[in-house]
Structure 1
Amino acid sequence: MALKVEIHLKENVRPFSPTPHSLRNYKLSQIDQIEGTNYTSMLFFYNSAGAHHHDYDELKQSLSKTLSVFYPVAGRVKDGMTIECNDEGVDFVRANVTNYDLSDLFRICTVDHLRQLLPFDPYPMDFDPSQPMLGVQVNKFRCGGTALAICIWHGVADAAAIGGFVQTWSAINRGEGGGGGNLVVDATAIFPPALNFDFSAPTSAAARLVKSNQGKYSKKRFVFRKEEIERMRDEYILPDRRRPSSVEALSAFLWAAVIRANQNAKMHILILFTDLRKRLNPPFQSMCLGNILYLTAARWMSDGPGGVTAHSLVGKIREAIMKVTGEHVSKIEAPGGLTTEMEKIAAFGVDKIKFFIISSLCGFPFHELNFGWGKPIWFLAAPFNVMDGANLYKTGDGGIEAIIGLTPQVMSILNKDKKFIVRVSCIRTMTSELFNLPSKY
């Protein structure tokens, strides 16, 4: 049965303090331009148990104070290189889910249900410069529980920046202040913007890609317990005899399973997102605004069935991550640098290459985001675009959940892979179909 989500109030929230005229123009970097074709959507689910009263007026007031710290979020796109920090504000929507409790939603939840909880479409077909950088929708359920949904324009914030924003917001809402240090930086010296950039074409292209692939990919949620992750770390010792991180170990495990399910490809490439903030000289604030990230790749050449193991891949993953430094990025960004890298890949023939993309949010404590209501009982970065890839999130008990999107044929092979399935503690189908959560929810 469809959710009955009734919008009863939509407000404009402006910064608590006006932005100084000297900060009127916020410069977009080239990575901001590339990423700024859609919105990142996240949902946080909170129970109404105990003394945790969900005060939405208070939430709106603390959002206003947070916008004074992250003032570009309250602005509008001026042109392809600039956000005008004009304090026009963000959308704050209040809605009631009239036919379900939170427990009901977790039992029958679908991707379509999740979309209804968002303030607007994260993949608009047309670029609208008057659209707010941020939309918030507070969904109140019959039981008194809350689903807090945010959509933030990717051109102004990557995962680390969103983490900084929501942690500052939640701290202010708890009465603890927030926003220490300079969280608005200029990254254009590292990634000079492309001149005369037009967001219209990439915006519509991204939306068409996501919407044309709806139903063509099978998406499932796989949960790995903390104990299993630790066993992987013990087994997949790196060449320098150190243990890999939890994300490195799980990434190697997932990539090995996907390679086994795609034996026809000659070359396999794993794409990883790497946060540059602490790798630059001088380093940036750990959760400053913008897209201060870079893509890195690990490669594996197929040598026949049974030739790949997670242990053989984890060193390649660590090497790919560690090589991403400010110096490396400068070389790639230099004229001809990226072209040379692409030519190396293209030499193998695109039809013989299989890409797999892993995006990890495990380094950000989204699962602990406390507005004074207690920790969320579940957190999700809405998974509408997971195609030939995996999104990784921490669970409240120290494990990791992976939402994986593969073609039905490859997913079917993965489901029969005993080396893979034996390590999984929970599997749930997720499509425009059913998306169940573990029984503990």
Structure 2
Amino acid sequence: MANRVEIISKETILPSSPAEPHIRELKLSFLDQIAVPIYTPIIYFYTDDQSDQFCPTDILLRLKKSLSDALTIFYPIAGRIRDGNRFIDCNDNGAEFIEAMVHRKLADIIENCDMDELREYLPVQPQDHPHQGEATVLLVQANLFDCGGIAMAVCLSHKVADGNSLSKFVQAWAAISRGEAAGVVAPNFHVLAEQFRPIDLPEPDLSPSKFIYREKIVTRRFIYDDQKLASLRAEIATAEGSKVKDPSRVEAVSASIWRHFIEHHRRNGCRTFAAVHPVNLRPRMADPPLQAFGNCYVLSPAYVADGDGEHELHRLAELLRNAFRKIDGEYIGEIQRSGGGEYQTLRQSIAITKKEGASVCSFSSWCGFPVYGTDFGWGKPAWVCTTIFPFKNIVILMSRADGKGIEAWVNMLEDDDDGDFKTLGD
């Protein structure tokens, strides 16, 4: 494995123009302040028939030049987090760009997904986020395969952006790369700190080790094709007593995976179960949706206690939907007025639930992100994926290339990787 990915060079990419003096300091919202300090990884794979119109040198020059221009528009990404997690110093220190050669056929990677191998294509591991000093916010690794394919790996600090913002940045970078910079619109970088004012936290321990389990974490990918999704949705909609007659893809898959977690942990003695989804606040705060860059979500927990019938698929889908619907304008207003108190209380209740032995399954849906439209100038990706997250019971949901199916990336303790999860996606 070690000799398959060869690092050729590392370079700091600076913005093509410096940030204006009046925007040098960008306050973090309290939603940013309490975000887990990790890098969010995503990899875009492009096959050799897409990139053969460019030589590797041209590709790298194009990527570096367009990244420099993108950093001028998304200037906070070129900065550094300062003052104990309170603001971004937009100092134009830049992003790290790594060039690597991969002595492997890209098609083999797509056909035979190996979790440990995918990590080799990342510029940094998710848990290696420095919590102080000169922490680089953005790192990129351009993996050029011997066959001519390309894997673009992007890791962005979760302290600065959620998945929605990460997707928007990469989309903008790709548009600039393919010569469509005129259509790129900068998001609002200041509105979140205005809407969710920074709070005075006790001196935070931002070390990732505080959040990451020391036990061995394994990641499994499960495929829900359109046929399997149709079957799940029909099972939920037609079940006796079902109140969810039109389950979404995300609701159906989340309910299915949650049920597997419940059955597994129930046999291990758990009697209370929770499923937590982050809910994007942008469309719930404005119409049209708020174009805000940063962390703009709250957690939406659903709870169920052990009992007859409580674990039926349609009942779990109903609990998830009810939890989603609680995140409305009134709820958001309460969070804003309380200066973060309501949200901190929610996080504390989840922590207490964990402490008391409940089984908590955390989801994050990336299905709404237009990742398969990411064209740097040589076509759209053949496959887009994430990699291993250093947390147990974390599930990342991603759309498939056909726009219909879903890939579920399930992170769990190695000891939990048994037969209970073998049938997911089958």
Shared fold by TM > 0.5?
Answer: yes
Is the CA contact 2:236–2:245 (under 8 Å) kept in the aligned structure 1?
no
Residue in 2 that maps onto 1:412: 418
SS at match of 2:166: helix
> What TM-score do the two structures reach when normalised by structure 2?
0.87
CA spacing shift, 1:124–1:345, aligned 2, 3 Å: closer
| In structure 1, C-alpha distance between the alignment counterparts of 2:344 and 2:82, rounded to whole Å | 30
C-alpha change, 1:94 and 1:144, in structure 2 (3 Å) is same
**Do residues 191 (structure 1) and 196 (structure 2) align?**
yes
Structure 2, unpaired ranges of 5+ = none
Instruction: Give the distance between the partners of 2:22 and 2:354, measured in 1 at CA.
Output: 50
Q: In the alignment, residue 246 of structure 1 is paired with which amino acid?
A: R
| 1:375 partner letter | K
Equivalent residue runs for 1:304-383 within 5 Å: 304=308, 307-332=310-335, 334=338, 337=342, 341=346, 350-383=355-388
TM-score by length of 1: 0.85
Q: Which whole-Å CA distance do the structure 2 matches of 1:125 and 1:83 have between them?
A: 15
Distance in structure 1 (CA, Å) of the matches to 2:114 and 2:406: 21
Q: Is the 8 A contact 2:129 2:135 kept in 1?
A: no
The aligned counterpart of 2:87 is 82
Within 5 Å, which residues of 2 pair with 1:89-104? 89-97=94-102, 99-104=103-108
- Asked if 2 retains the 8 angstrom alpha-carbon contact of 1:38 and 1:206, the reply is no
* Offset at residue 409 of structure 1 (A): 5.2
Instruction: Say which of 186, 203, 206 aligns to 1:202.
Output: 206
Structure 1 SS opposite 2:356: helix
Q: Deviations over 1:207-265 (max 9, x none)?
A: 7x24x12x2x4432110111221232233239666402110111111112221222232
Q: Which residue of 2 aligns with 1:247?
A: 250
Match of 2:400 in 1: 395
Please point out which of 270, 286, 293 is paired with 2:297: 293
Taking a change above 3 Å as real, the CA distance of residues 198 and 136 of structure 1, as seen in their structure-2 partners, is: farther
**Mapping for residues 2-17 of structure 1, pairs under 5 Å:** 2-17=2-17
Aligned mates of 1:345, 1:76 — CA distance in 2: 30
Identity %: 32
Equivalent of 1:275 in 268, 277, 280: 280
Task: Give the aligned CA root-mean-square deviation in angstroms.
Answer: 2.8
Q: Which deviates the most, 120-129 or 322-331?
A: 120-129
3-state SS of 1:118 partner = coil
How far apart are residue 268 of structure 1 and its match? 0.8
Question: Structure 2 CA distance, aligned partners of 1:76 and 1:346?
Answer: 29
User: Does the 8 Å contact 2:242/2:314 carry over to 1?
Assistant: no
Distance 2:251 2:189 in 1: 30
Which one of 45, 62, 65 corresponds to residue 61 of structure 1?
A: 65
Deviates more, 1:258-267 or 1:341-350: 341-350
**Which stretch of the first structure deviates more once superposed, 174-183 or 341-350?**
341-350
**Deviation of 1:134 (Å):** 0.6
